[in-house]
Structure 1
Amino acid sequence: MKKRDKFYITILFILPILFVLCVSTYSIYGSKLDWLSQHVSLADYFRQNFYATHQIIPDTFAHLQGQTNAISFSYYGLLRPDVLISYVFPNIPTRFFIIGYATFLWASTGGLCYCWLRNKGYKDSISFFSSICCICANCFFQSHQQIMFIEILPFLFLSFILIDKNKRQWLSLCICMALFHNYFYTPGMILILLLYDYDQNHTIKDILIPILIGMGMATILWLPTGYLILNNHKSVVQTNLFDLLIPNFTLKGLVYDSYGCGLTVISWIALFQGIQFERTRKLSILLILMFVFPIFSYILNGTLYARTKILVLCLPLILMILAHWLQERKLNKGLLVLASLFLCTKTMLLGLLISLVFIGYYFMDKKECLMIYALVPMIVFTGLNYNQCLDSKLYNSIYSKDKQKLIQRNDLNQRTADLDQVGYSVNHIYDLKEMKASSYTSTSNSLYNTFVYDIIKSPVSQSNRTIITDSENYLYLSMMSVQNVLSKDSNLYGYKEVDSKGKYKLLKNKNVFPMVYVTSDTISESRFDKLFYPYNLDTIYNRTIVNGETSNEYASKMKLIKNLDQSIVIQNKKKTKKTIPIDFDTKNKMVCIDFDVKNYTEKKVFISINGMKNTLSKKHSVYPNGNKHFTYILSKKELKQFDVTLSKGKYKISNVRVYTCDMDVFDRVVTKVKPLKTTSIFKGKVTTSKDGYLVTSYPYEKGYEIYIDGKKQNVEIVNKAFVGCKIKKGNHTITIQFHAPFKNAGLGISVLSIMIGGFWIWKKSKNL
């Protein structure tokens, strides 16, 4: 390697680091929702859990989603190197590992791109220019957002280098690491590798074995995860197959957009210019079609949706065609005009103008303009991303030391809810004494999600309803065994303030349901399903829902107070607040309010009542929450008025209903199972005088086992979403265990694949 090559690689490595350091001067190189509530919070929890269990991949996480399969969170770095390395340094905050590793991979991508292009025979200046376009592609905006989308790119570039150097045996490690970083994008990466190998060498047979070995090495992750995904339905926007065949000329997957490649207009021109060369013609045409027709994004996304961010996997191929065109220095004016016809926005036209100036000078043999034009992607990237980082004040409010001290210095029996910044704190665990019923993962438990939002009607406060947030809904708090609440407000029925620190209060209610109990007060699922809101609310609280006929009757105590048939159209240019007086008795009562919402705009709509927020996602949301019927279940100690906050926009509110119910109704007596010390999920003793049901607040999923007096029981779904089983009267010892399905099988296949792969790599390398 020449000195100039080393110099260029050094520059490419340093530039991303300098950018991160500059934008982090007065902020944190991160973002609010996904980065904070998922990547950092979960990495921190993984580390805490490892210190407690000494397991890198445990079967279950006791502190999230009311006790859940640990594989539910595998997408967020469970086996990623930065997370694992953080286990060795317990005194360093995990965010430094997340930021440092994302920056390292970003910086490495530029160097790998340069080495790859140089190995293909392109000039150092052209390789450097193309690599600048690479590291300044706006997709690297995700390095402080949804980091898994771009952390797969270094392994893609490295795979190309290995193919070109005929060292395909090492591809297995790249595939394995890609799966650890982003198992969802890895199938697309494999397709790109097959396409590249066939385009360059007219064969794919030599690449299949290392791909299969790499997949085998990572089976410990993707096999149990795949099983989990297949057992959980996720709501996404419905795709019209005919629409997938209609060309989309916005080019969001290629130009400027951070949820695509995010390159400048010169890349689009390069794809058309690549058609004139036999070496790049077929690939150029295919890539043009991929960026114009949504069907390709749909296929690469596994037919889940047609989002263009998956096309970031095409980034290396685009840069290769760009480098080839610049090196050949051949301009086809007809193809240039044709490419220009697709550019229809003001931003694209400005980019076209700048590109034409560059092309004019470059093809006049003024090679120095190549480095001058390299400033364009740098300026574009900096302008779009410089002020996009996380405010330090918000970070400190989410990771509050006052909250942490409240958690650490108090005895927390059962679960805890954090009602402050619920969307951001949803996955954050301050101390392993804190067990939560909330969670935010793309593979959340579908039964539990339905229970929270559709049965007990907790407010859908976020645009994405896979986020299960804590709420003041008394049914949620009690049925999920939430004995402790962190809040700035102490006006919550049944909860008493026991401690405070700064502006935060710790509230406690010892009358919520135990996490495991026995009852004979049941109602059949078929009978319960005939009940409608709100008459099913106090029913599910006072009767356990079971599969089978029962003789226990229950009459709902809910009363209709107001029924307003008229509609109200809201037209707000900004968020507004209103106060509505209450003209009915609310003392010691639960107040249930519900109404329909019709949105007339493309933006999301939210309405808060006394701090309880409901949101209807925007019209074309990728993950629509479908929340067109807002419900508020208020259980305040004192409720004198409705404090309403209305979002900006135009929307209609109709069919307003108000119900009340005495809070005495929510005072059910059950037989608690006395917990014993155990390494299982739960072990305890109970004495019951009647045959009945063992009921838990553990969300049901396959893998649970219940033993009564050492005998394995038939696990049932009770209360529509939870683990339970029948139990006979008498004295019993209860043991509940959970084993993640296919985890052990995945581990066995991974170990076997590592052994086979190691031998195969050694043999192939020796032969070379």
Structure 2
Amino acid sequence: MKKEILKEIREPGKSRKKKGQPKGRRNGFLEGLTGKDFTAAGLFFFSLLLCRLFVLQYGVFGSSIDWISQHSTLADYFRKRFYATGNLFPDFAWNLGGGQNIYHFAYYGLLSPTMLLSYLFPFIPMDLWVMGSSALLYAADAVLFYQWISKKGLHYGNCLFTSLFFTCSTALLYHSYNQLMFVDYMPFLLLALLGVDRHFQKRKSGLLILSVLGMILTSFYFSVGGLLALTAYAVTEYLKCGTENAAYEAEQENRKVSRNQKAGAEKKQRAGEKSAGTGETLVGLRSFFGAAIRFALPVLAGILLSGILLIPSAAALFGGSGEGGRGTAAGGIAGLFTDPAMWKPQFLILRLCYTPYGIGLSAFAGVALLGRVIGKSRLREKLLSFLLLVFFCIPLFGYLLNGGLYSKDKVFIPFLPVLCAEVGLYVENQLVRKRECGKNRSTGNFKRKVMTELRELLPYLIVLILMWNAKQETYFEPYWHLGILDVICVTACYLAWRWFPAKKRLRGRELPFLPLVFSAVILAFAGKAINQEKHVMIPRKTYEALTDSKIAAAIREIRAEDPGWYRMEQYGDGGQNLANVNRIWDIGQNVSTIYSSAYNAEYKKFRDETYGINEAFRNRMMQTVSDDPLFWQFMGVKYILAETRPEGYELYRDYGDFQVYRAISAAPVAYVTDQVVSETEYKSLPYPQNQEILETAAVIPDQEMRKTTAAIPDQEKSAESVDNFRAAADSDTKNGSVGPLFHSCFQKVNLEIPETDQEDLRIQKTADGYEIETKKSVTVSATLPGTAEGATLLAVSFEVENQKASHDMFIRINGQTNRLTGINHTYANGNTQFNYLVTMKEDGTVFIRMGKGHYILKNFETWTGMAQPLEKTEQLYSQAVTLIGGTTATYGGDGITGVVSAERDGYLITSIPYDENFVLKVDGKETLLFRANTAFLGAKIPSGEHKIVLVYHAPGRTAGSWCSLMGGMLALILVICEKKKQQNGSERAGESKMLQKQRKYYIIRV
């Protein structure tokens, strides 16, 4: 007896190998690896295989939508800027959009850990880094999800197939090479879910804090949904293990009293609870709120740590800057809560299924979600499914997650992991754990059995009906049959399992997972179909042409020869212009273009409304390059990389595949002049005189103009020239000069489009324009009778009434495009005023390409002319600001220093978009800034030589720094407290084990 007892007492540090455990090879490569490790590795390589089959065989791991124009190019710019300035937390981007608050681009990974890591590898091109990291993050998603779901106590096969189900989500792979911010936070979200488990089980919060921080820094927009998913999961996990938590709390409290006191306390507690009847409830609520606070603190620490990004980004988005692509909710956020429509449930099955702009799972996900809610189980077990159903069905949550401005299903992608976990639990509960239910099917109440079967079959029927009703949806129409097939297959598997329990083959281990297998396979086919149908992959040849190193070498060569302060842009076809809208080849290159969801509203309004730039793309956020020669001159675009020569430019260098043209007279980015007109007078000028006048004069606010005229003696006032601008705008070149500063070089002509009435094309002249109806895009040639001799520029302006408002239409004149988006498009540009200012053909022929549709052109006007005389433009730009050290030497790249010599009192005029957060110092004294040329920085400058310092301070930057500091302190306090508790707990546990060992040894000796 004594020997048997001694066998049960093992020495500390020694363990007994379990039966069936595989023997590892000593010092072998695979020693210590388990089946889970091999499964995780298999999922990793399976994910990479999907990348190869679905994307890479058609081109590079990138898309022609946003990847080529935003994600790869902006990340490259962030890294170039860091290498040039050494500033990890910048405030301003001089190179993009004429100069923008850099937090306008925070949405695209400004402080993303993945992109910051690339700073350590300058020898890896950023576009290759983005492609490789995106594919690896996608593979990491599969591995991390499997690591998380395998800790749920599910069957091994269930964990495997649920992980495959998660990996095959159409949203996950599709956005890994399209809109990266939709999914690149997913690894951190999965780590946060693991951190929640670790927090409740081990009382350790470090992983949770870092994961929340990483998720927000990667994609702050989608982190809101991620935090909501984390909170819902944490609540349900606490309720599931509430008994264990309560027992742990009781154990901690009971350790403080002696055994006798403990026994007496327990008796008193039971007596008190029995008499009051509410003791258990009060203790449960107190325990729940205590756990909620303990969970909220590490999450809060992670949020505060990210304050260096969150607060400046919020200030940039809502502090006066434009937000592209976002509507306006009536009544704001408060109006959403009072709107009854926001509370009316809507079960949109495509929010969950197939479309990559939703969660992107198969129909079985909807079945599992409804099955978990409808099924017979405890509330705490199906609470998460119930919460998910509420989030998905109540429109209010969709609007709130989208900032309260519109409802788009993309914001529900962060719920993908928890939804897949619920799918796995549904399979485990409904199929695996009911394996033995069939043995007693013949017993029991028949009516109850029928009701039970109907209740469990109901989710399949509901989803089948929803799928059938959604087959006409735009995104679902090409592959709705896959959704119907999915529902039929999983329903057949369920019926086979429930109705034929006596068959041993049908009760085997494989059958319960067949619904997941079928769904994963169908989802994979749907994913391949979606990727092919979207057809947004970039062919390798196209990608190589867009990223040709010869272009970068040419730009660096030009910068070495001409290191001044100017802008340099590329112009090509539509695809090239879109791809290069945010591309910066060299940190010394500056462009006037920008494509971002946030932007400087002053600059956007100037382009679209004041100046009248053509809009070539359907997305109103795209402020792409325009081949308007006068705009290039105004914005200081000194060099153009193009295939044809623009008016006002001369060939500078021929590189074979492309040519570089240099402006004869481009405006400096900043200069001093006294040739000014008032803003009121400028806004009275029609098109195209409103563009012409900026070649010879600058526009200042009326208040500044009144100060100037009041300071000048009456005989020296130049008010006469100001008063004559309106008359000059209405005159032609034959009337002689009517003002010393401005004389229009354009005159009206008639652009005659040939009328026709054919089956596929109808062009009919109206009283003030044309009515056009065409079934396909066509090109017609038109003539310009009465063109002035020597005219090199053509200006056309008209209004468009789209008779098919839900469809796009476009008109292209001599290669310059204007497009009107269909009204149903989320980012519709609303471009109903088409303006063109293009270089004329040598023979005077005008080529007009008309897009498919039916539309009416009203108030059709045409002018021909030429640029203003060179001596006038050179006089305006004669006093340019010369930079000292470029745009990267002052205040970590957030400021500039320059010198200028002014012959007379005048005004500092720039083409830097106006922002109230600039500080201008002239000779060390702060100077008031105003809007010059209606949308740009300007200031009054006295005569003489001056040193100018212009610095930008991003709003919210200081507050964000303090917020991050407080978050770091909170995180440190939490970690220290947890360490101390663990040390105290381990010491007490050691003492308890020693006492127990001594007690056992004493019993054995006795």
- Give the TM-score of the pair, scaled to structure 2: 0.72
Q: Distance in 2 between matches of 1:727 and 1:628?
A: 40
Aligned to 1:186: 223
Aligned to 1:129: 161
Offset at 1:661? 4.2
Could you tell me the percent identity over the aligned residues? 26
Do structure 1's residue 378 and structure 2's residue 524 form an aligned pair? yes
Tell me if structure 2 keeps the 8 A contact 1:419–1:470. yes
Aligned to 1:477: 632
Tell me if structure 2 keeps the 8 A contact 1:265–1:355. no
Offset at 1:535? 4.0
Do structure 1's residue 316 and structure 2's residue 520 form an aligned pair? no
Pick aligned residue for 2:662 from 508, 525, 531: 508
Aligned to 2:39: 8
Q: Structure 1 residues 283, 377: closer, same or farther in 2, change over 3 A?
A: same
Pick aligned residue for 2:700 from 538, 546, 552: 546
Tell me if structure 1 keeps the 8 A contact 2:460–2:491. no
Offset at 1:589? 4.5
Offset at 1:419? 0.8
Do structure 1's residue 733 and structure 2's residue 947 form an aligned pair? yes
Q: Does 475-484 or 698-707 show the bigger shift?
A: 698-707
Aligned to 1:677: 884
Q: Distance in 2 between matches of 1:256 and 1:727?
A: 61
Q: Distance in 1 between matches of 2:946 and 2:843?
A: 44
Q: Structure 1 residues 698, 118: closer, same or farther in 2, change over 3 A?
A: same
User: RMSD between aligned alpha carbons?
Assistant: 2.5
Pick aligned residue for 2:141 from 75, 90, 109: 109
Aligned to 1:358: 493
Tell me if structure 1 keeps the 8 A contact 2:670–2:909. yes
Aligned to 2:317: 229
Q: Structure 1 residues 2, 609: closer, same or farther in 2, change over 3 A?
A: same
Offset at 1:484? 0.5
The one-letter code matched in structure 2 to 1:673 is A
Do structure 1's residue 763 and structure 2's residue 977 form an aligned pair? yes
SS in 2 for 1:706: strand
SS in 2 for 1:73: helix
For structure 1, the residue ranges without an aligned partner over 5 or more in a row are none
Q: Structure 1 residues 245, 695: closer, same or farther in 2, change over 3 A?
A: same
**Mapping for residues 321-470 of structure 1, pairs under 5 Å:** 321-329=422-430, 332-343=456-467, 344=469, 345=471, 346-347=480-481, 348-363=483-498, 364-369=506-511, 370=513, 372-373=517-518, 374-385=520-531, 388-410=536-558, 411-412=561-562, 413=564, 414-420=566-572, 421-470=576-625
Do structure 1's residue 646 and structure 2's residue 850 form an aligned pair? yes
SS in 2 for 1:185: helix
Do structure 1's residue 626 and structure 2's residue 659 form an aligned pair? no
Pick aligned residue for 1:560 from 736, 748, 753: 748
Aligned to 1:291: 392
Offset at 1:435? 1.4
Pick aligned residue for 1:274 from 363, 367, 372: 372
Tell me if structure 1 keeps the 8 A contact 2:809–2:821. yes
Tell me if structure 2 keeps the 8 A contact 1:237–1:621. no
SS in 1 for 2:699: strand
Tell me the matched-pair count.
767
Tell me if structure 1 keeps the 8 A contact 2:391–2:397. yes
Aligned to 2:266: none
Tell me if structure 2 keeps the 8 A contact 1:456–1:475. no
Q: Does 240-249 or 148-157 show the bigger shift?
A: 240-249
Q: Structure 1 residues 112, 68: closer, same or farther in 2, change over 3 A?
A: same
For structure 2, the residue ranges without an aligned partner over 5 or more in a row are 1-31, 240-287, 331-338, 432-452, 472-479, 499-505, 707-718, 730-743, 752-765, 983-1006
Q: Distance in 1 between matches of 2:618 and 2:548?
A: 25
Tell me if structure 1 keeps the 8 A contact 2:647–2:792. no
Pick aligned residue for 2:797 from 594, 600, 611: 594
Do structure 1's residue 214 and structure 2's residue 214 form an aligned pair? no
Offset at 1:720? 1.5
Q: Distance in 1 between matches of 2:657 and 2:850?
A: 26
The one-letter code matched in structure 1 to 2:854 is K
Q: Distance in 2 between matches of 1:383 and 1:11?
A: 24
Tell me if structure 1 keeps the 8 A contact 2:810–2:820. yes
SS in 2 for 1:651: strand
Q: Does 733-742 or 469-478 show the bigger shift?
A: 733-742
Q: Structure 1 residues 629, 702: closer, same or farther in 2, change over 3 A?
A: same
Pick aligned residue for 1:656 from 849, 852, 860: 860
The one-letter code matched in structure 2 to 1:749 is C
Q: Which has the higher strand share?
A: 1
What's the CA shift string for 1:614-666, capped at 9, x where partnerless? 12122212222111121111244746222222223333333322133442268
Aligned to 1:51: 83
Tell me if structure 2 keeps the 8 A contact 1:609–1:642. yes
Aligned to 2:787: 585
The one-letter code matched in structure 2 to 1:353 is I
Q: Structure 1 residues 89, 593: closer, same or farther in 2, change over 3 A?
A: same
What's the CA shift string for 1:257-296, capped at 9, x where partnerless? 0001110000011111111133454433443343344332
What's the CA shift string for 1:8-58, capped at 9, x where partnerless? 222222111122234324510100131011111112222222221122222
Tell me if structure 1 keeps the 8 A contact 2:65–2:536. no
Tell me if structure 2 keeps the 8 A contact 1:155–1:174. yes
SS in 2 for 1:184: helix
The one-letter code matched in structure 2 to 1:359 is Y
Offset at 1:567? 5.2
Aligned to 1:19: 50
Tell me if structure 2 keeps the 8 A contact 1:406–1:500. no
Tell me if structure 2 keeps the 8 A contact 1:675–1:682. no
What's the CA shift string for 1:315-371, capped at 9, x where partnerless? 122212211211112661233323332222243323322322333345453542426
The one-letter code matched in structure 2 to 1:612 is Q
Do structure 1's residue 709 and structure 2's residue 798 form an aligned pair? no
Q: Structure 1 residues 662, 388: closer, same or farther in 2, change over 3 A?
A: closer
Tell me if structure 2 keeps the 8 A contact 1:269–1:340. no
Tell me if structure 1 keeps the 8 A contact 2:879–2:902. no
Q: Distance in 2 between matches of 1:484 and 1:515?
A: 13
Q: Distance in 1 between matches of 2:419 and 2:896?
A: 55
Offset at 1:381? 2.1
Q: Distance in 1 between matches of 2:845 and 2:345?
A: 53
Tell me if structure 2 keeps the 8 A contact 1:402–1:504. no
SS in 1 for 2:937: strand
- Give the TM-score of the pair, scaled to structure 1: 0.94
The one-letter code matched in structure 2 to 1:44 is D
Offset at 1:157? 2.1
Of structures 1 and 2, the larger Rg is shown by 2
Aligned to 2:674: 520
The one-letter code matched in structure 2 to 1:350 is L
SS in 2 for 1:32: coil
Q: Distance in 2 between matches of 1:645 and 1:365?
A: 67
What's the CA shift string for 1:64-113, capped at 9, x where partnerless? 11122222222222222332222222222112221222122211222222
The one-letter code matched in structure 1 to 2:459 is L
